[in-house]
Structure 1
Amino acid sequence: MIKGLYEAHLPVKNLLVSIEFYKSLGLEIAFQNETLVFFWIEKGRSWLGLWETDKVETPYHPSLRHVAFQVESEEIHKVKEWLEEKGIPIRTAFGFSPEHQPLVLPNFPHAHGAIYFHDPDGNSLELITPLKIDAKERFEMMSLTEWTTT
């Protein structure tokens, strides 16, 4: 069964700018040439390919320009501060503004914690973790803060 991300590919305008951005997220370069870089997500198991191209301005669709990176459930409370320390702005997602993230995504009977942001080329990125709960009834999406206080 799936235990992580094997690979994802994203278009980027400036490979050097994107390399610095993804290195700031803690990813390590696996391979690089003049117009392509692969970053290890989990060394030896999964990677992200960034392709420098002038065709970055294509219409956005999450199936083409979205990558979710799994984080530990204990870390989801810290990811907002971690991104802010790196100067990476959190984006509005599902109608929830940055100040109301991370979110709790109800995938009944479980839930996931997630926070959303963009890379320098507008590709949608997400940090996500399964939350260790067993919901007895369906609930609406809410902020993690709201969820922990109810």
Structure 2
Amino acid sequence: MTGPDRTTEHPARRAGLASQAAVRAKDRAAWLALFADDGWVEDPVGPSGFDPAGTGHHGHAAIAAFWDMAIAPTDSIEFLLTDSFAGGHEAAFVGTIRTRLGGTQIDAEGVFTYCVDPDGRIRSLRAFWEIDRAMATARPI
């Protein structure tokens, strides 16, 4: 990210960076441990192939199933973030998530938000990106 070091001064920003690090490392257990018991994931926000009803993945079992469906099959996921903004119990990251899978690379530009509980555990992870825009970037590696 550009600008000053924004890695430690806000609990939601810390949780977001820890989540991103666990995804990059493909560490399912570490990622799941970041979530509150009543946490949820919306990635992307709204209906998608990952979430046809568009209601999100609620609770640890559903979040784990999301990992198995959306993150585990990838070859790699890279976070190319340009900035973040924090306030209250939330932080928003702006940038691109680059996914590599089976010889194809896709860039999802968007805004990625994390809301934490008073203990710093993720209550919600919401990813605002558009599937059609991301798929338009698909290219061979």
TM-score (norm 1): 0.29
TM-score (norm 2): 0.30
- Between the two structures, name the one with larger relative contact order (CA 8 Å, sep ≥ 6): 2
